[in-house]
Amino acid sequence: MIRVCALTDLPPGEVLRLDLEPAVAVFHTEDGEVFAVDDNCTHQNASLADGWLEGCEVECPLHAARFDLRTGEPDGPPATRPIRTHQVDITDGDIYLTLSPAAQPGATLPAP
């Protein structure tokens, strides 16, 4: 489990990119939920932390692929594969991240 930051340091609507391998994007939605997913768009090389967060979806900044942050599933093309989601816990006002051990079916991760 990784401590990300204090919840107050990531205001709603904001995102934090964690320089892990692979990189992880942690989103705090306007509705107050926190989600963590692999940062790289499964369509083409782009950082989802640079994307457009709307509700529980993030839209890739380049080709507008949209992913549901709850499931990682794309909402139609251009992406066809889900992004990997990670477990987030809020404990005593801090955000904690538990990385998923393996790729979700169909997802491809960069080599470590």
Partner 1 sequence: MRRIAVVGGSLAGVSAARALRKQGYDGELVMVCDEPGPPYDRPPLSKSLLAGESTEAEIGLLGEGETFDADWRIGVAATGLRPAEGGVTLSDGTELRVDAVVIATGARPRQPWPDAPAGVFTLRTLDDARALRARLLPGARLVVVGAGFVGAEVASTARALGVDVTVVEALGTPLAAALGNEFGAVIAGLHAAHGVRLLCGTGVSRLVGQQYVEGVELADGRMIPADVVLVGVGVRPNVEWLAGSGLRVTDGVQCDAYGLTGIDRVVAVGDCASWYEPAVGGHSRLEHWTGARERAAIAVSSLLSGGRQRVEGRPPYFWSDQYGRTLQLAGRIAAADSVTVEEGSAAEHEFLAVYRQAGQPVAVLALGHARSFLRWRKQLAAAPTAAG
Residues in the site for partner 1, rule: CB under 8 A? 46-47, 50-52, 61-64, 73-78, 80
Exposure of 34 in the CB half-sphere (CA atoms within 13 A): 23
For partner 1, the closer of residues 6 and 52 by Cβ is 52
Minimum separation from the CB atom of position 50 to partner 1 (A) = 4
Minimum separation from the CB atom of position 12 to partner 1 (A) = 15
Q: How far is the C-alpha of 91 from the C-alpha of 74, rounded, in Å?
A: 29
For partner 1, the closer of residues 82 and 86 by Cβ is 82
Minimum separation from the CB atom of position 24 to partner 1 (A) = 17
Quote the strand ranges of the chain, DSSP E: 2-6, 15-18, 24-28, 34-38, 52-54, 57-59, 66-68, 85-91, 94-98
